[in-house]
Amino acid sequence: MVKVAVAGGTSSVGRHIVEEILATKKHTVVVLSRSASHAELQARGAHIAAVDYADPSSLAAALSGVHTVISTLAIRDPTPQFALLDAAVKVGATRFAPSEWSMRSIPDNPIEWYRGKWAVAEAVRKSGLEYTIFENGLFMNYLAVGTPGLGHLNPERFLFDVEKCTAQIPGDGSHYLVFTRAEDVGKFVAASLELEKWPEYSQIIGQRLPLSEVLKLLEGARRSSRSFDRYSAKLIICI
């Protein structure tokens, strides 16, 4: 059993991770939050630590005795993650997982959402901590925007907008993309805590399909509904 801190664990993928770790009944879970009270998570056994990411002493206190730090913080601004990593090093944590939760980060990522990831991943590699980078592709839950099925994720439309029956598909649609449910990502992360040593990359694949096939599946799903409107697919050439 280890003590695990999940930054951003009150919502989105972080909430799924917290719930699945709690479900194992094997680990102590500390949820780092800007609020000191989250009754539902506390009732399930989580400890809530109110933190200020601009205050190193606040983070150090919250991470006291923590073995593994898992970040699910928003990635557009990497500043809080740098502060979290510094605190993890200073308190002597063993493991750190940066907020990746998608595809492998690259410098100057053309996807605006992901541009903040590369610098954090590089800092983690240089930190001296054991780390893994979780890669799960796109959350399948996003295909349920407008219907039940998002879980704890906020609505996001990436490539496919099922509500509006539109799609923006790079190239000719032959490129493959991995889709994984956030619930399964949570289970995967919880299971990874049992590993003796973390690999550099931890990959989970719910389903891997060419984008053109995903479009056909979504068309079929909408066709079976009463409010079917044919998808308008726009092909975008990626340079």
Using alpha carbons, select from 235, 231, 237, 236 the residue that is nearest to residue 166.
231
Using alpha carbons, select from 70, 39, 19, 26 the residue that is nearest to residue 183.
19
In sign, the C-alpha dihedral spanning 119, 125, 127, 132 is: positive
pLDDT of residue 105: 86
Q: Kindly report the average pLDDT of the chain as a whole number.
A: 92
pLDDT of residue 163: 86
pTM reported for the whole predicted model: 0.92
d(C-alpha 103, C-alpha 124), whole Å: 17
Contact 160, 143 (CB under 8 A): yes
Per-domain boundaries in the chain: 2-141+179-206
Q: Residue 226: pLDDT band by 50, 70, 90 thresholds? A: low
**What percent of the chain clears pLDDT 90, i.e. is strictly above it?**
75
Contact 171, 233 (CB under 8 A): no
Could you tell me which CATH number the domain at 2-141+179-206 has?
3.40.50.720
Q: Please state the separation of Cα 152 from the chain's center in Å.
A: 11
Cβ within 8 Å of residue 196, ≥6 positions away: none
Q: 50 or 225, which is more confident?
A: 50
pLDDT of residue 239: 31
- Residue-wise pLDDT tens digits, 132-182: 999 999 999 999 988 888 999 999 998 999 888 899 998 999 999 999 999
- Residue-wise pLDDT tens digits, 93-143: 999 999 999 988 888 888 777 888 999 999 999 999 999 999 999 999 999
Q: Residue 19: pLDDT band by 50, 70, 90 thresholds? A: very high
